[in-house]
Amino acid sequence: MQKKRVVLNYPSHLTDQPVISRLIKNYDLEINILRGWITPREQGRLVLEITGKRPALEAGMNYLKEMGVETQPLAQDVRWHEDRCTHCSACISICPTKALDIDRKRMEVSFHKDRCIACEGCIPVCPYQAMEILF
């Protein structure tokens, strides 16, 4: 089984279509909606964690493309500005997935994009605006 975290951008004409339920039903994928904004007659956006066998995942992603839904990896939309980070560790206990982690011996914080679920928990606690979510 493979897991992907992706951001979906919906054109306005698809916001009332059962795109996600078809993805689950027709491609045997598990979908976890991490975040979502869909406004009638406007573009919508969803952050999904999709789990399934590799061929099913590929077929599901092709289906989204054919439907006109743009997808991009979640990691592209979450940024850790290392130059602003003072390694104060205020974010460590907040992050639910250990995407922000600390080496206790060296007191050095690191960011692991692949673990981030874009929950935004770190945004208000970071005093130096070192974390940014671009949606």
Which residues bind to ligand SF4, rule: CB under 6 A?
Answer: 78, 85-91, 94-97, 99-100, 109, 116-122, 125-126, 128, 130-131
Q: Residue 50 has which token pair?
A: 């999709």
Shortest Cβ 67–ligand SF4 spacing (Å): 28
For ligand SF4, which is the closer residue by CB, 6 or 126? 126
For ligand SF4, which is the closer residue by CB, 10 or 80? 80
Q: Could you count the other beta carbons within 10 Å of the beta carbon of residue 133?
A: 16
Q: Which of 99, 105, 104, 102 is nearest to 123 (CA)?
A: 99
Q: Which of 17, 42, 19, 126 is nearest to 80 (CA)?
A: 126
Shortest Cβ 49–ligand SF4 spacing (Å): 12
For ligand SF4, which is the closer residue by CB, 64 or 118? 118
First CA to last CA distance, the chain: 28
Shortest Cβ 42–ligand SF4 spacing (Å): 24
Shortest Cβ 113–ligand SF4 spacing (Å): 9
CA dist 123 → 65, 92, 97 (Å): 31, 12, 15
For ligand SF4, which is the closer residue by CB, 31 or 75? 75
Q: Residue 73 has which token pair?
A: 């990896």
For ligand SF4, which is the closer residue by CB, 46 or 56? 46
Shortest Cβ 116–ligand SF4 spacing (Å): 3
CA angle 63, 17, 53 (to 5 degrees): 35
